[in-house]
Amino acid sequence: MYLQLKLILRRLLPVRFLYFLEPVIRKSLYIFYLGNGYQCNLCGAKLRRFILLENNERLCPSCGSLPRTRRIYRILQDGWLTPGVRILDFSPSRSLFRKLKNKASIEYVASDLSGDFLAEKKYDITQIETNDASFDLIICYHVLEHIPDDQKAIQELYRVLKQGGKCFIQTPFKEGDIYENSSITAPDERLKHFGQEDHVRIYSVTGLVKRLERSGFQVKILSFEEERNNSNGFSEKEVVLVCKKSSLKL
């Protein structure tokens, strides 16, 4: 039902209008999923079940959060959302955007160059138009795999972080080495090689860590494993890189 409704609305309404109408639609949808078996840790909704998407990810019918969104919010709740913290989020999840924008004690800045996400800034991640050492925390989720010059983007993330600041990074990962080929530019070929029409590479964890360390970051790998039907609908396996701006650039 959810997917069919989404397709119909996308045909009838402009995408930007849908973003603002979405909370109203979800309130109507949520009643069909009420229950006590599961709970979204982002919006607090108690659910009979999550919506299972075609890629087997579990979507919250109440706020639209995906497993990775719920995970990053769980991480942020562990002492990161302190009063006065300044956060930059690239191409943010709409559910996370709405949650953090409502926290008066923090300064949350969202950026999206494409115009496909809710954001007030349009920063080019390879040339961020802001001063050095501007942010305490950066969220860069599923962005770097879209960027041809990812090393320049990583250098910019390092530059705009305050000393001792942290950047949370996640991309799709594979085993082995990073796979990239700049000659592959057609959307259908990128889909075949990289898993999505607008991706330019597939990272390995070790390969991305090396690129981050090259720009001066100290990197901690957070690995999570969950039961398939865990109550918060987290992914069974997930990796998040916590990148700290060290005192001395390597």
Do 65 and 42 meet the contact criterion of CB atoms below 8 Å apart?
yes
In the CATH scheme, what is the homologous superfamily, with its name and number, of domain 66-245? Vaccinia Virus protein VP39 (3.40.50.150)
Question: Which residue type occupies 96?
Answer: L
Per-residue model confidence (pLDDT) at position 29: 81
Per-residue model confidence (pLDDT) at position 21: 61
pTM: 0.88
Per-residue model confidence (pLDDT) at position 17: 52
One pLDDT digit (tens) per residue for the chain, 250 residues: 555 555 555 555 555 555 566 666 777 788 889 999 999 999 999 999 999 988 899 999 999 999 999 999 999 999 999 999 999 999 999 999 999 999 999 999 999 988 778 889 999 999 999 999 999 999 999 999 999 999 999 999 999 999 999 999 999 999 999 999 999 999 999 999 999 999 999 999 999 999 999 999 999 999 999 998 899 999 999 999 999 998 655 4
Chain-centroid distance of CA 240 in Å reads 10
Three-state DSSP at 105 gives coil
Per-residue model confidence (pLDDT) at position 18: 59
Structure tokens at 86: 């300044």
Chain-centroid distance of CA 103 in Å reads 19
Per-residue model confidence (pLDDT) at position 28: 76
Kindly list the distances between the CA atom of residue 18 and the CA atoms of 23, 24, 35, 59, 199, in Å, as whole numbers in the listed order.
9, 10, 27, 17, 25
Three-state DSSP at 202 gives strand
- Where in the chain are the domains? 1-64, 66-245
Q: Is the dihedral of CA 154, 155, 159, 162 positive or negative?
A: positive
Per-residue model confidence (pLDDT) at position 220: 97
Instruction: Give Dmax over CA atoms of the chain in angstroms.
Output: 54
* Burial bucket for residue 101 (CB in 10 Å: 0-12, 13-18, 19+): middle
Q: What is the DSSP letter of 199?
A: -
E strand residue ranges, the chain: 34-39, 46-47, 51-52, 58-59, 86-90, 107-111, 135-141, 161-170, 173-174, 179-180, 201-204, 217-225, 237-245
CA 39/CA 62 separation, integer angstroms: 10
Chain-centroid distance of CA 25 in Å reads 23
Per-residue model confidence (pLDDT) at position 162: 97
